[in-house]
Amino acid sequence: MTEALVFEYPRLAGRTDVAATCSPAAPYLVGLNHRSAPVDVRERLSVSEARLADVTERLMRLGAVEGACVLSTCNRVEVLVSSTSEDVVDRVVDWLAHHGATTREALQPHLYIRRGSEAVTHLFRVASGLDSMLIGEPQIAGQVKKAFAGGALDPTLHQLFEQTMHVAKRVRSQTGIGEHAVSVPYAAVELAKKIFGELHGVRVLLLGAGEMGELTAEHFAKQNVDQIFVANKTYERAVELARRFGGSAVQFSAFEEQLAECDIVIASTSAPHHVIESAQVQRALEARRQRGLFLVDLSVPRNIDPAIARIDGAYLYDIDDLQQVAETNRERRRCEAARAEEIVANEVRAFHVRAESEDAVPTIVELRARVDEIRSAELEKCLRKLGPIPVEQRQAIECFASQLTNKILHQPIVELKKSAPLRGAIRRIFGLRP
């Protein structure tokens, strides 16, 4: 478990009897996401980070809830609870409808419900980025971690949390699911890196402040570029956007002066014609002493003359080029996702093997105590009949009795760890508490 996170289980305080843990809670998940519900429905149910504690407390008061947490992002809202009763699902659905100020009938078509193993599999896939709108989304693992950190975790959810984070880390480190640009803006960054290597120290000119151009500039800004210049027909908008990136605004009519100063040019204007011509780029490259110039044309109709691609030192990509790169990378991620799915499937099986083994502990403890009780009673009878004997002989008899019971119990205990039905049978045969 991460050192920064400390979890307590107040609901288990004072429960020292073994029977209290004989019916382990199972995980149940009720939620909706970008595939099952439109944004207006997701908005209704969303939970801000500031409200997580209050919402979790409300869930814990539903009854039959041993532990609870809520994962709320722009693409999904999911409630995960642990309970010994499947009736908890109906209570959570009713609670979600009330929380979203809607009816159960209106909400039900958008919901999915995962029980037990299905809930474990779903959570592993979500944290690994396999269920995201964008396969391999890196932020989701951190969001899942925050959801658990803000929840009320009983032993079942605590164990599930640790395993979920382990699976997400393994998928990220052993597959390439998070590699390769799969969006047009980031594809531009990836191509620029192939030309310039590290982008630290390069200068960027954003020509026009369209949504796609702005997003592309944002991606470049995250690469610690040296400077971002913004030129726009409306100068006030250029000033506003430049301030956001810590850059400088320039008059649109004077942007050619920046061509020689900048290494990367992003064109995203609404002009129905070429804004950058071959002659302008030729002059810029001469002034740059043939240092490369990377140009990204995100406009339709195109803002940059396609003939520029034939100029030595000019690297021009339009939106179709970038989409092709992004689609190629999406296919790569899909291949990596298949490998990630195998990891998830194996981890789900391993999780249930461990859970089954741990679920058997109370029965094993009681069985051993019951057999030890019988052994002690019968041993005492035997020793009384023998009368006074040397200490060495008494110890040998006690050792024999102990080894005999251990040998007899060995195989039943092995089988108890594998089979829940057998646990019930053993409890009945030996008269253990149900």
Distance CA 172, CA 293 (A): 34
The rounded distance, in Å, linking the Cα atoms of 285 and 281 is 6
Residue 80: which region, alpha, beta or left (left: phi > 0; alpha: psi -120 to 50)?
A: beta
13: its two tokens: 């305080």
Cα gap 278→164, rounded to integer Å: 54
Asked if 113 and 30 count as a contact pair (C-beta separation under 8 A), the reply is: yes
Confirm if 296 and 314 have CB atoms less than 8 A apart: no
**CA gap 186, 322 in Å, rounded:** 9
Q: How far apart are the first and last CA of the chain?
A: 33
Query: Which pair of tokens denotes residue 376?
Result: 């002690």
- Which residues carry out catalysis? 74
Phi, psi of 392 (to 5 degrees): -60, -40
How far out from the chain centre does Cα 289 lie? 47
Question: Which residue is it, tokens 């949390």?
Answer: 161
CA dist 99 → 43, 95, 110 (Å) = 11, 6, 15
Cα angle 343, 186, 293; round to 5: 140
Distance (Å, whole) CA 26 – CA 44: 28
Whether 270 and 208 have beta carbons less than 8 Å apart is answered as yes
Closest by CA position to 160, among listed 60, 59, 87, 68 = 68
- 70: enclosing H helix or E strand: strand 67-72
Distance CA 97, CA 100 (A): 5
Q: Which residues pair with 78 in a beta bridge?
A: 31, 71
Task: Compute how many other C-beta atoms are within 10 angstroms of the C-beta atom of residue 95.
Answer: 19
Token pair listed for 126: 């979500």
Reduced to 3 states (helix: H, G, I; strand: E, B; else coil), residue 390 is coil
- Coil, helix or strand at residue 29: strand
